[in-house]
């Protein structure tokens, strides 16, 4: 692919800001290796857009979106994670400016971020998802707790409905700590999910493509703790085994589930389907439309197992973004 002008968008206002900055820096370095003209754009914690390359030249005042994107790039590589970045908001902004970008469009991004809505779509298509209850606001906590205790007992999983990197996710083993864990999840999302705790083998299937995505090798995740939480994702202590140590029939099934979910949401470019094998059943947990691209991230590891270097993976994501745009 010919050299392009690529703006890498990173940072943001979400709780996943630090991960996004790490992903963004890796993307900048990888695209430089492919010969592209790359400049990093940071969305600050206060929501300002800043051209970090110009900061090197001592121009550090946060500027407007169009000033930050000057010169106008051939494409924006979105390396944002979480709300106000992965949820369709930035995608919509770039579309109004007629600037191509990588990854999924507005609707697929919004659906991927909303666990409840995406699960309703998955279940409607015949995919197996964990049972769950939605808590809409603080006034419904007592009723939701009582219903969850009656339906499933303990332990219970509490998770924000639209947050990533397992932030705010807790496993609760008694009624004493459940309300406070729910309140903690509410600090990251306006809705909270309650689920039974499924034990089994955690796996993930990255995908690459547009209308006809390719499932990359399935990765088995073996965290040192109870589950693959935020700390385990980025401290380097989790075993990430690729290909997963599961029967080939299960690997194929997991890849089929991932492809079905990708197409169902209308995803583009790349994504990652997180699943768990529990009692010989594969449950689809969620679809990440902008998976991490740090040194500890899963998509680059699966791509490497498929014969793609990190810089080749980034080049392919850029190419797919331009194909989707045109």
Please list the active-site residues.
16, 165, 234, 272, 274, 286, 288, 292
Q: Whole-angstrom Cα distance, residue 160 to residue 192? A: 5
How far is residue 116's CA from residue 132's CA, in Å, rounded to a whole number? 9
Contact predicate 296/232, CB 8 Å: no
* Cα distance between residue 35 and residue 42, in whole Å: 21
β-bridge pairing 49-51 and 37-43 = antiparallel
CB count in 10 Å sphere of residue 73: 22
Residues 6+ apart with CB under 8 A from 326: 100
């Amino acid at each position: 692919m010919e050299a392009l002008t690529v703006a890498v968008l990173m940072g943001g206002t979400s709780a996943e800001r630090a991960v996004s900055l790490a992903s963004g820096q890796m993307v900048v370095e990888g695209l430089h290796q492919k010969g592209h003209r790359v400049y990093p754009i940071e969305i600050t914690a206060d929501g300002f857009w800043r051209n970090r390359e110009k900061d090197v030249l001592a121009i550090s005042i946060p500027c407007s979106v169009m000033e930050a994107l000057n010169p106008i790039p051939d494409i924006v590589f979105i390396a944002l994670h979480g709300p106000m970045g992965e949820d369709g908001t930035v995608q919509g902004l770039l579309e109004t400016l007629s600037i191509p970008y990588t990854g999924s469009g507005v609707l697929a991004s919004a659906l991927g971020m909303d666990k409840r809505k995406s699960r309703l779509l998955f279940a409607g298509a015949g995919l197996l998802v964990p049972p769950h209850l939605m808590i809409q606001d603080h006034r419904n906590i007592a009723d939701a707790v009582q219903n969850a205790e009656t339906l499933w007992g303990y332990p219970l999983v509490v998770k924000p409905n639209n947050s990533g990197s397992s932030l705010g996710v807790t496993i609760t083993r008694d009624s004493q700590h459940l309300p406070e864990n729910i309140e903690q999840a509410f600090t990251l999302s306006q809705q909270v999910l309650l689920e039974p705790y499924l034990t089994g083998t955690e796996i993930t299937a990255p995908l690459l493509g547009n209308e006809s995505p390719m499932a990359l090798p399935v990765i088995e995740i073996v965290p040192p703790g109870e589950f693959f939480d935020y700390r385990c994702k980025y401290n380097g202590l989790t075993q990430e085994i690729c290909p997963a140590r599961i029967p080939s029939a299960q690997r194929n099934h997991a890849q089929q589930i991932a492809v079905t979910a990708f197409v169902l949401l209308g995803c583009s470019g790349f994504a990652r389907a997180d699943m768990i094998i529990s009692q010989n059943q594969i449950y689809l947990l969620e679809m990440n439309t902008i998976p991490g691209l740090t040194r500890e991230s899963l998509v680059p590891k699966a791509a490497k197992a498929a014969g793609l270097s990190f810089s080749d993976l980034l080049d392919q994501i850029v190419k797919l973004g331009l194909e989707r745009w045109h």
